[in-house]
């Protein structure tokens, strides 16, 4: 992996947080994104409902329904840090 800074993006920071990505595939093809503004800037935060929906869609298939739900409950209710750490560090 190679990460390069972009002088134009750096000049726009912190008012704008911009990035682009180029993926080089094993067959030599390159896939490029356009410059993209980061979601969730402090001035324009992502709604909690969006964060939770994303967590559910990504975590469910990996963690299983019960573990995913337990982690979500502990995070959203700010309770029992030792239990949360145990759930987060379990091997899948």
SS (H, E, C) 13-42: CCCCCEECCEEECCCCCEEECCCEECCCEC
| Structural domain range at position 62 | 48-89
Is the domain of 52 the same as that of 19?
no
Bridge partners (DSSP) of residue 31 are: 23
Is the domain of 29 the same as that of 40?
yes
Virtual torsion, Cα 29, 33, 38, 39, nearest 10 deg:
-100
- Cβ neighbors of 35 (< 8 A, separation 6 or more) are 9, 18, 19, 20
Residue 79: the pLDDT is 77
Is the domain of 56 the same as that of 41?
no
Q: Give the β-pairing of 36-37 and 18-19.
A: antiparallel
**Per-residue pLDDT tens over the stretch 5-52:** 999 999 999 888 899 999 999 999 999 999 998 888 777 889 999 999
**Per-residue pLDDT tens over the stretch 45-73:** 899 999 999 999 999 999 999 999 999 99
Its pTM stands at: 0.60
Is the domain of 63 the same as that of 81?
yes
């Amino acid at each position: 992996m190679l990460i390069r800074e972009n002088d134009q993006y750096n000049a726009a920071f912190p008012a704008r947080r911009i990035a682009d990505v180029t993926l080089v595939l094993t067959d030599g093809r390159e896939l490029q994104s356009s410059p993209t503004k980061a979601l969730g800037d402090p001035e324009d935060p992502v709604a909690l409902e969006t964060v939770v929906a994303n967590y559910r869609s990504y975590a469910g298939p990996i963690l299983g329904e019960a573990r995913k739900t337990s982690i979500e409950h502990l995070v959203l209710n700010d309770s029992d840090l030792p239990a949360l750490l145990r759930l987060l560090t379990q091997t899948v």
